[in-house]
Amino acid sequence: MSSGTSTEVIDIYRYPVKGLSPERLDKIDVEAGATLPADRAWAIENGSGRFDPEAPRHLPKINFLMLMRDERLATLETEFDTGTDTLTIKRDGKQIARGQLTTQLGRQMIEQFLGAYMKDSLRGAPKIMRADGHSFSDVAAKCVHIINLASLRDLERAVGKPVHALRFRANIHIDGLAPRSEFDLVGKDFQIGGIKLRGLDRTMRCAATNVDPETGARDLAIPAVLERTWSHTDFGIYATIQEPGTLAVGDIFSK
């Protein structure tokens, strides 16, 4: 931890639909052994795929629309109402599609829009998927994704320009730790507010981080900079929630 400063939660985000916009949260109740509620609860299958909602299992992200390959998704502004499971899609501030994903008609409205908008990326008709208790995370483990903003500032110095924190699509942004010291948390227990977590693994970055989350431009080479500067492509960590509780912006980190 940096001398004379506390480490605290700066931002909390969840991504209700894999590959689409985040929802910023002030606080959220969490359960042990789970993701943030509703995080990656929905995904858009790219053509006829292997996901079976009756027997859900983790599949590689290549099966779904995602920023690593489908950067045009970043040009869409999306809002998701977790109370009604309604997805609203906007572009340049104007609504262009809306549908309640728990209804067949609502899913069709969104699928038809994406079928036209993402046609150059599709292997077949897009299909919105969900299964009770399943998260379409990039990793099979039920966990949360944490980045350290001091590490981000170090990365910005290596890149030579600002790097938007949302490129990394993490759930929790913390500040106050020394740069890259979050890697030391892997395999160890720590607290954020009243919640106990355990570091699970470092996050290996892919080409999705090269996409500007506001413009959709593929304008940086983040994994290459990480490899050139630190001899690895890791940025951030995954952690498992060990005890239920409430996670909030301003919560203090402690070991």
What whole-number distance in Å separates Cα of residue 176 and Cα of residue 133? 33
What whole-number distance in Å separates Cα of residue 16 and Cα of residue 40? 5
Specify the amino acid at residue 117: Y
What whole-number distance in Å separates Cα of residue 226 and Cα of residue 47? 33
Which conformational region is residue 241 in: left (phi greater than 0), alpha (psi within -120 to 50 degrees), or beta?
Answer: beta
In the chain, which stretches have pLDDT less than 70? 1-4
DSSP state of 75: G
Residue 71, CB-side half-sphere exposure with 13 Å CA sphere: 16
What whole-number distance in Å separates Cα of residue 213 and Cα of residue 195? 30
Task: Write down all domains in the chain, each with its CATH number in brackets.
Answer: 8-33+139-254 (2.40.33.20), 43-129 (no CATH)
| pLDDT, position 49 | 79
| pLDDT, position 70 | 87
Specify the amino acid at residue 190: F
| pLDDT, position 4 | 53
* pLDDT tens per residue across span 158-167: 999 999 999 9
Q: Decide: residue 39, CB within 10 A, 0-12 exposed, 13-18 middle, 19+ buried.
A: buried
| pLDDT, position 3 | 43
Q: Which residues pair with 94 in a beta bridge?
A: 91
Asked if residues 224 and 159 have their Cβ atoms less than 8 Å apart, the reply is: no
Place of tokens 């470092």: 202
What whole-number distance in Å separates Cα of residue 223 and Cα of residue 163? 13
Rounded to the nearest 5 degrees, what angle is found at the Cα of 168, between the Cα atoms of 163 and 173? Answer: 90
Rounded to the nearest 5 degrees, what angle is found at the Cα of 210, between the Cα atoms of 205 and 211? Answer: 125
Rounded (10°) angle between helices 149-159 and 222-230: 90
Asked if residues 253 and 7 have their Cβ atoms less than 8 Å apart, the reply is: yes
Phi, psi torsion values for 25, nearest 5 degrees? -120, 145
- Give the ranges where 135-245 is alpha helix by DSSP (H): 149-159, 222-230
pTM value > 0.85: yes
| pLDDT, position 101 | 97
